[in-house]
Amino acid sequence: MQNSPFIHLFNVANKYCFYDVNKNNVLEISKEVYDYLLNSDTSNENVLSEIKSLKNRGYLSTKRITKIEHPMTPLISNYLDNKMQMITLQVTQNCNLRCKYCVYGGDYKTRQHSNKTMTLEIAKKAVDFFIAHSSESDRVGIAFYGGEPLLNFNVIRETVLYLINEYPGKQYYFTITTNGTVFNDENLKFMNEFKFGIMISLDGDKQTHNANRRFKNNDQGSFDTVIKNIQYIKEHYPKLNELMAFSVVLSLSSYFSGCNDFFTKLNPGEEHNLVVSTVSNRYKENCEADAVKNINEENILYQRYEIFKCILISIGRLEEKHVSNMIKRFYAQIKESYDKLYITQNGVQDIEHPAGSCIPGVFKLFINADGDFYPCEKVSEESKSARLGDLDHGFNLQNIESGLNVGKIGEDLCNNCWAYRYCKLCLMVVDDIDKLSVRKKVQFCKTIKQEVDMMMREYVFINQFRNIEND
């Protein structure tokens, strides 16, 4: 394998292509050359001549990664000491809803709902720690998370005021993730004053939303309350309305087409960001079996239809206004991936790392109600390998470096991976509570390669209507 070209072969719409990892290029080739690269056996002089030409142009290099290490590893201490950008405070573990798919509902190895709240003392200590480690960051943010964070609004308010009064001179921004049922004029006026970005959990129309998102005390659906509050914000706090976004979870009871229609009609003429996800299977005992249960085939078909529309938009056959709001983020990711192609970094370097890992603790640090550190709110609070320290002892540099260099888990999988530039591997993916798991990485690698392969096939299809380099 080490002596073979570092490439990925594929064909689509009667086009034969390869992705050259060192050049970071997709190239169309003849079927004869394709067959040769697939089998390495030919006596055809024309094919051998084409191969020679490709090599003379810098293609078909055999160079591979020799060591997996994140390029930020030598700088991690400096970044943690001076460049922190955002913290997420878990101001409460309590919630007034009991959503059927909630990762904190007892079916996951994360945590369960409790009455535990973050004290103002811990919140202030978190702010002090944050500011002390963000001296080189001009704009920093605090996100408030739960449970339902507005159940502990007093700590939210006092934390913001403490930050503003004690540490003037920086640009601050604030966000909150809420189920949308606990708004009142007191907290809305405050969030309006400090320009909070508000992420409201809303799964679609009444039937879809209420199927899963129900009140704790009476098991009634929360849809009517959420919609009433959204309309109240729109009428009385228009600036806050502009900063509103929605978190949409697609479950077995959801229908993509119905959700798409609902959000199209919710606020006509307004563009609210939608963050669309499916029910999480991470940290479940039977995650592979549950993954199958959580797939709604109709949703997949409808999503593929909307993605096909994105392809038509990309080739100029459809106006961009027809992009579904449900997949706008996906559409942006597609364009970002296309833009990465043909941006080379002098070929594959001896020391590389898959692209997905963030710098744990720098761009975002999740601080739970006890003051413990984790990379983000999606990571299990039971995890030993993902715990990045705490407010009393500071950062656990060993765990942070392991999280940054998560590609070292099953290193050979990355050394020879043609898709490493487009990988989304992160600590959460391989976290197995007590250790980082090669088994989980293998499962993830298969999915990522399928996604990147599909992206490149779509890219080739689109470029039939543009200028693609032909040999």
pLDDT in tens, 213-257: 999 999 999 999 999 999 999 999 999 999 999 999 988 778 888
Q: Is the pLDDT of residue 145 over 60?
A: yes
Percent of the chain with pLDDT over 70: 94
CB 126 within 8 A of CB 365: no
Please state which of the ranges 54-63, 161-170, 337-346 shows the lowest mean pLDDT. 337-346
Mean pLDDT of 423-438: 91
Mean pLDDT of 272-290: 71
Give the CA distances from residue 461 to residues 134, 366, 421, 423, in Å, rounded to whole numbers and listed in that order.
Answer: 45, 41, 21, 22
Per-residue model confidence (pLDDT) at position 466: 58
Highest mean pLDDT (candidates 10-24, 127-141, 330-344)? 127-141
Task: Give the pLDDT band of residue 470 (cuts 50, 70, 90).
Answer: very low
Per-residue model confidence (pLDDT) at position 116: 95
Per-residue model confidence (pLDDT) at position 333: 74
Q: Is the pLDDT of residue 83 over 70?
A: yes
Task: Give the pLDDT band of residue 310 (cuts 50, 70, 90).
Answer: confident
27-46 burial, b at 16+ Cβ within 10 Å, e below that, comes to bbbeeebbbbbeeeeeeeee
Mean pLDDT of 292-318: 73
Q: Work out the widest C-alpha separation in the chain, in whole angstroms.
A: 80
Average model confidence (pLDDT) across the chain: 89
Per-residue model confidence (pLDDT) at position 284: 66
For residues 73 and 61, what is the distance between their CA atoms, to the nearest angstrom? Answer: 27
CB 112 within 8 A of CB 105: yes
Give the CA distances from residue 100 to residues 181, 252, 418, 442, in Å, rounded to whole numbers and listed in that order.
Answer: 17, 11, 39, 29
Per-residue model confidence (pLDDT) at position 39: 87
Per-residue model confidence (pLDDT) at position 469: 42
CB 23 within 8 A of CB 347: yes
Please state which of the ranges 12-21, 197-206, 246-255 shows the lowest mean pLDDT. 246-255
CB 409 within 8 A of CB 430: yes
For residues 241 and 387, what is the distance between their CA atoms, to the nearest angstrom? Answer: 36
pTM score of the predicted model? 0.90
Per-residue model confidence (pLDDT) at position 349: 92
User: Is pLDDT larger for residue 460 or for residue 23?
Assistant: 23
CB 388 within 8 A of CB 399: yes
Per-residue model confidence (pLDDT) at position 42: 73
Per-residue model confidence (pLDDT) at position 296: 67
Instruction: Compute how many other C-beta atoms are within 10 angstroms of the C-beta atom of residue 201.
Output: 22
Mean pLDDT of 264-283: 80
Tokens 């591979």 found at? 64
> Residues of CATH 3.20.20.70 domain(s) within the chain?
73-340
Task: Give the pLDDT band of residue 291 (cuts 50, 70, 90).
Answer: very low
Per-residue model confidence (pLDDT) at position 113: 83
Number of H helices, E strands in the chain: 17, 15
Q: Is the pLDDT of residue 288 over 70?
A: no
Tell me the CATH number for domain 73-340. Answer: 3.20.20.70
Q: Is the pLDDT of residue 48 over 60?
A: yes
**Residue 145 β-bridge partners:** 90
For residues 459 and 463, what is the distance between their CA atoms, to the nearest angstrom? Answer: 6
Structure-token pair, residue 207: 């039937």
User: Is pLDDT larger for residue 243 or for residue 286?
Assistant: 243
Task: Give the pLDDT band of residue 369 (cuts 50, 70, 90).
Answer: very high
Per-residue model confidence (pLDDT) at position 285: 58
Structure-token pair, residue 148: 């339902």
Mean pLDDT of 419-429: 92
Mean pLDDT of 261-286: 78
Per-residue model confidence (pLDDT) at position 23: 94
